[in-house]
């Protein structure tokens, strides 16, 4: 069965709306994919401000933004369809939305981007609200991308996505708990969101190739403070809200009074150390993760040459090879997997893994809106 799906992702780094038009083929339970077209439409200053301030809004204004952002997404999808000449080809739109509130311990998560508004604007069937069912079942609702890693991207032991937040997943071929292997994943630490905020202080959107960070020095006092956040010692499954990096981590960086290069260098070291710590924990828990292991790195951080070089150095003693794929997969892996999640929802098949989120069972997540 062939599914022609547009996947939409808006990450915590606020760089823009990622769109991927994907052909997903299912044959006897095996899935393959081809990314036919992709684009990232950057947010203008107005939308960045609206999304940054969303959690501070009164209830009515928040709901109005929810609808307005859904209409905005629909407009961007129509633009994408026009530019790529995809009229009457797209069967499903799968939209992640933009995460605002995320309080899984109270069984609540919220993503901006009203699915009905997207369906009305595009006249195409939409799957949205992808995390709520898992959270209602006691799960973290995150990460949700490992289902796509499992079904579409075999051959790696670890998957690392470095976006606004860095998250990692481990895919064990055989473990003590399962003869078929397991998938374990969790958020590691805030990443590009903090690095980008530091770059903004120098009038840049981001630190291209990690050039500024490479000129700085590690401030050990700041590094120790960063590594002491209680989240890092919590057991998985666990997940982070988008504003953790903004409201909890960034103020610690600012209070250090480091120069921007030193702050960036120190925070890059923090990211790499937390990734290493996470992998060591997974290797300790799952004895099948031994030998020469491969880690596939994606997300905007995979373009950061300095960060990737430092990560390779830190992971070398663990015999882990860091694999950086071609640019389209680096930039649009999450949009690709969101498309798969939408197709699985349409088939009424599990698309969120309880081994990842800690929910009492795997689930079929997503609300469906019939666009035509």
Q: For residue 179, what pLDDT is reported?
A: 45
Locate 56 and state its tokens: 């501070």
Q: How far is CA 312 from CA 46, 163, 294, 322, in A?
A: 38, 18, 11, 6
Locate 217 and state its tokens: 């020095």
Q: For residue 81, what pLDDT is reported?
A: 98
Q: For residue 287, what pLDDT is reported?
A: 86
> Minimum mean pLDDT among 89-93, 172-176, 217-221: which range?
172-176
- Confidence grade of residue 193 (pLDDT, cut at 50, 70, 90): very high
Residue 43's closest CA among 13, 70, 86? 13
pTM more than 0.75:
yes
Q: For residue 15, what pLDDT is reported?
A: 86
| Alpha-carbon gap, residue 113 to 50, rounded angstroms | 13
- Confidence grade of residue 159 (pLDDT, cut at 50, 70, 90): very high
Residue 336's closest CA among 30, 31, 27? 31
For residue range 224-253, what is the model confidence (pLDDT) as tens digits? 999 999 999 999 999 998 889 999 999 999
For residue range 123-150, what is the model confidence (pLDDT) as tens digits? 999 999 999 999 999 999 989 999 999 9
Please indicate whether the domains covering 2-138+335-369 and 146-328 agree at the CATH topology level.
yes
- pLDDT above 80 for 255: yes
- pLDDT above 70 for 77: yes
Residue 121's closest CA among 65, 83, 72, 64? 72
- pLDDT above 50 for 97: yes
Locate 279 and state its tokens: 């992998």
Locate 70 and state its tokens: 């859904």
- Confidence grade of residue 180 (pLDDT, cut at 50, 70, 90): low
Q: Does domain 146-328 correspond to CATH entry 3.30.420.40? A: yes
Residue 185's closest CA among 64, 282, 283? 282
Question: Percentage of the chain surpassing pLDDT 70?
Answer: 98
- Where do the H-state alpha helices sit in the chain? 45-52, 59-84, 115-122, 132-136, 146-152, 192-200, 211-214, 220-227, 243, 250-255, 260-285, 305-315, 327-346, 354-357
Q: For residue 297, what pLDDT is reported?
A: 98
Please state the domain extents for the chain.
2-138+335-369, 146-328
Average pLDDT, the chain: 95
Locate 274 and state its tokens: 């937390």
Q: Does domain 2-138+335-369 correspond to CATH entry 1.20.1080.10? A: no
């Amino acid at each position: 069965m062939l599914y022609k799906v547009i996947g939409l992702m808006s990450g915590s780094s606020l760089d823009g709306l990622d769109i991927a038009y994907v052909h997903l083929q299912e044959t006897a339970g095996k899935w393959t994919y081809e990314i036919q077209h992709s684009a990232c439409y950057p947010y203008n200053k107005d939308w960045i401000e609206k999304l940054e301030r969303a959690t501070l809004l009164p209830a009515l204004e928040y709901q109005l933004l929810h609808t307005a952002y859904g209409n905005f997404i629909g407009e961007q999808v129509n633009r994408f369809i026009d530019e790529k000449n995809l009229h009457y080809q797209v069967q499903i739109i799968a939209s992640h939305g933009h995460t605002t509130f995320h309080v899984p311990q109270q069984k609540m998560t919220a993503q901006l981007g009203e699915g009905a508004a997207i369906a009305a604007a595009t006249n195409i069937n939409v799957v949205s609200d992808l995390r709520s069912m898992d959270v209602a079942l006691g799960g973290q609702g995150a990460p949700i991308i490992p289902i796509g890693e499992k079904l579409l991207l075999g051959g790696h032991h670890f998957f690392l996505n470095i976006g606004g937040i860095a998250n990692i997943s481990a895919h064990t071929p055989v473990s003590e708990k399962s003869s078929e292997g397991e998938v374990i994943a969790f958020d590691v630490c805030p990443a590009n969101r903090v690095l980008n905020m530091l770059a903004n202080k120098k009038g840049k959107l981001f630190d291209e190739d990690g050039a500024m960070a490479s000129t700085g020095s590690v401030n050990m006092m700041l590094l120790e403070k960063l590594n002491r956040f209680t989240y890092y010692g919590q057991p998985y499954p666990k997940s982070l809200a988008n504003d953790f990096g903004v409201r909890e981590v960034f103020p610690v960086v600012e209070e250090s009074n480091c120069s921007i290069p030193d702050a960036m260098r120190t925070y890059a070291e923090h990211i790499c150390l937390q990734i290493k710590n996470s992998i060591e924990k997974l290797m300790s828990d799952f004895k099948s993760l031994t030998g020469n292991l491969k880690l596939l790195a994606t997300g905007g951080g995979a373009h950061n040459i300095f960060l990737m070089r430092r990560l390779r150095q830190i992971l070398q003693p663990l015999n882990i090879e860091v694999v950086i794929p071609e640019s389209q997969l680096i930039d649009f892996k999450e949009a690709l997997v969101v498309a798969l999640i939408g197709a699985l929802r349409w088939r009424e098949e599990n698309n969120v893994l309880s081994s990842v989120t800690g929910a009492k069972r795997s689930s079929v997540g997503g609300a469906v809106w019939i666009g035509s």
